[in-house]
Chain A
Amino acid sequence: QLQLQESGPGLVRPSETLTLTCTVIGGSISSGDYSWGWVRQSPRKGLEWLGSIYNNGFSDDSPSFRSRASLSVDTSKNQFSLRVSSVTAADTAIYFCARYDYDKSVDAFDIWGQGTAVTVSS
């Protein structure tokens, strides 16, 4: 059974860059009709999709985060990553990585990680 595991710093100072990594366990990041995305959960905004990246490196970003967020994939490590620059307290949230099955008969986030909490504070 494929699993996803997020890793990150836990605490980030305002104006710095947040980097999160998701490791794909029990399967290959390169196989199948999937993209690999990030969703965050905060009390203020609920669940927000930040963006997704395909195996070929093409990314689909939410307009709300496009100016600050970038995604990358490292198929050799079976990982994908999210970088968010110039963080503020509003970026405090639980960040989930998730697999998106873009087969049109599914078109959903079908596997999620447990999430990693990020606090932005000095």
Chain B
Amino acid sequence: DIQMTQSPSSLSASVGDRVTITCRASQGISPFLNWYQHKPGVAPRLLIFGASSLPSGVPSRFTGSGSGTDFTLTISSLQPEDFATYYCQQSYSSPRTFGQGTRLEIK
């Protein structure tokens, strides 16, 4: 199985800050890397697919980048609704595996 490692595991930031979350795969997976946002009690939301593509309706302040084994999710200017947990997931091979999550909290 491909192991996905996110860092940091938690992060405190303020509205308006720029934040970056990193995801590292145990082998090359380009470009099969997705990012999800999850808030308690709400359905998880696909934020980024194919490492850098945004689904319709996702704000442009979310940016995905990276290749090979190393990927990043950047939020350019945090909004109050962005405080959530973020997960990366590889779709390179089965079984689909997720990172352990990064909890983004209000400072």
Contacts and interface: CB of A to CB of B under 8 A. Distances in A.
Contacts of A110: 46, 49, 55
Interface of B is mostly: loop
Most buried by B among A105, A108, A109: A108
Contacts of B46: 108-111
A49 B96 contact: yes
B43 A63 contact: no
Interface residues of B, number: 25
Interface residues of A, number: 23
Interface stretch (A70-78, A83-91, A112-120): A112-120
A98 B95 CA distance: 15
A112 B49 contact: no
A105 B50 contact: yes
A46 B100 contact: yes
B97 interface: yes
Interface of A: 4, 39, 46-49, 60, 62-64, 96, 98, 105-115
